[in-house]
Amino acid sequence: MSFASIFLALGGIVAFSLPVKSQDLLVAPGVEQADELDSSFLNPQSPKQPGLFDRLGIGSYGELHLNQGDKNEIDFHRLVLFLNYRYTDRIRFVSELELEHALSGDGKPGELELEQAYLEFAFDHGWVLRAGQYLLPLGILNEVHEPETFYGVERNGIETQIIPTTWWEAGLLVSKETESGLGFDFGIHSGLSIATNGSQAFNIRSGRQKVAKADASNYAASARIRYNALAGLSLTAFANFQEDVTPSSVEQNTATLLGASALYQRGGLQLRALVADWKIRGSAFQVSGSDHQSGYYFEPSYRWYRAIARLAFLRGLEHTTFTRVRCNKQTRSVLGSTSGPMKTLL
């Protein structure tokens, strides 16, 4: 470990809970009519029209990073604002606005970004349609990337360079969950625009257009299958297809990303693994040796919560020790520990 890092989460995640007003309840002695009982739970909202604050959801999180060792740097990495609005029980608007690196503007290190903004339509039988700008269903972190959902200060290198997390595009996404624990997602959306010269040549991450006056002459598609039917185990396989990752060059370079992830949890033990592999066609990528970009990581971790709780002064905190071995161009490993307020889940 060449550097020690301190991580301060500001505020934590504020769930988008819609406020439900306290209400007094009539407790009828005796047998309650079955219909009355059912309707009191099936229609829990008060009969009046829900107001603005029943429909509006606001959430936020922030990350302040101090890195010391290889680099000595303090950075307010991101401050995020979520704004949701529920039009009806089945139609809602979701947005996520993010300020990165504290200061945005010409020549400044930061950016103000719209990460998500879509309408979501919920249908019967677990079908969901998203229309707008959404996070692609690829890898473990891309859709759920809040700092409390992964270990370490910075995100892992595979889900930075190979899967360019956080990666969003605009288009349509259809999702379905089945009773058997299988789920799938399929989306058609805008694509990457990777440079073939300059300092960012052939760099996938730099190819994200972020739906900012983005080239739309080509399309891309993403698909994912999820399997969640066993306690503690979650498996996914995912793919992304790009019709042409270099719209500004003459040569057409189709590209395909294939990957898979596995999560297993038992007690305090958790294992995470991810593999992702890009194949990009065309002579430009072949000549530069970047036609095949891939990587994997494997991350066992252990969460100490019972043992720690016996030490009174540490009560209310939980600690996790993790190690992560990752390999893309070279193999690197990280050993780390995180501490924080105890989650209500564990």
Q: Which of residues 306-325 bind other proteins (CB under 8 A)?
A: 309
Least distance from other proteins to the Cβ atom of residue 25, Å: 5
Of 1, 49, 124, 289, the one binding other proteins by CB under 8 A: 124
Whether residue 258 contacts residue 242, with contact meaning beta carbons closer than 8 Å, is answered with: no
Give, as ranges, the residues between 74 and 113 that touch other proteins (CB under 8 A).
84, 86, 89-90, 92
Binding positions for other proteins, 149-168, rule CB under 8 A:
149
Q: Which of 117, 188, 223, 225 binds other proteins (CB under 8 A)?
A: 188
The residue range among 103-111, 118-126, 193-201, 290-298 that interacts with other proteins, by the rule CB under 8 A, is: 118-126
Judged by CB under 8 A, the chain residues 6 through 65 that form the site for other proteins are 15-18, 20-25, 27-32, 34-35, 37-38, 40-42, 44, 57
User: Is residue 241 within the footprint of other proteins (CB under 8 A)?
Assistant: yes
Q: How far apart are CA 141 and CA 155, in angstroms?
A: 8
Q: Out of 9, 79, 263, 334, name the contact with other proteins by CB under 8 A.
A: 263
Closest CB 28 distance from other proteins, rounded Å? 6
**Euclidean distance between CA atoms 324 and 272, whole angstroms:** 9
Q: What is the CA radius of gyration of the chain?
A: 23
Binding pattern for the stretch 200-229 against other proteins, x by CB under 8 A and - elsewhere: -------------------x-x----x-xx
Q: How far apart are CA 13 and CA 270, in angstroms?
A: 22
What sections of 295-340 are H helices per DSSP?
A: 306-309
| CB nearer to other proteins: pick between 69 and 316 | 316
Per-residue DSSP letters for 108-131?
-SBEEEEEEEEEEEE-GGGEEEEE
For other proteins, the closer CB: 29 or 105? 29
Maximal CA-CA distance, the chain: 81
> Chain centroid to CA 250: how far?
34
Nearest residue (CB) to other proteins, 35 versus 73:
35
User: 276: Cβ–Cβ under 8 A, 6 or more apart, which residues?
Assistant: 138, 139, 158, 159, 162, 163, 257, 258, 259, 294, 295, 296
Q: Work out which of 154, 177, 215, 277 binds other proteins, going by CB under 8 A.
A: 177
Contact letters for other proteins, residues 269-308 (x by CB under 8 A): ----------------------------------------
Exposed e or buried b for every residue in 315-335, given b needs 16+ CB within 10 A? Answer: eeebbbebebebbbeeeeebe
Decide whether 13 or 201 has the Cβ nearer to other proteins.
Answer: 13
Residue 38: Cβ-neighbour burial (10 angstroms; 0-12, 13-18, 19+): exposed
Which position among 126, 200, 307, 332 is part of the footprint of other proteins (CB under 8 A)? Answer: 126
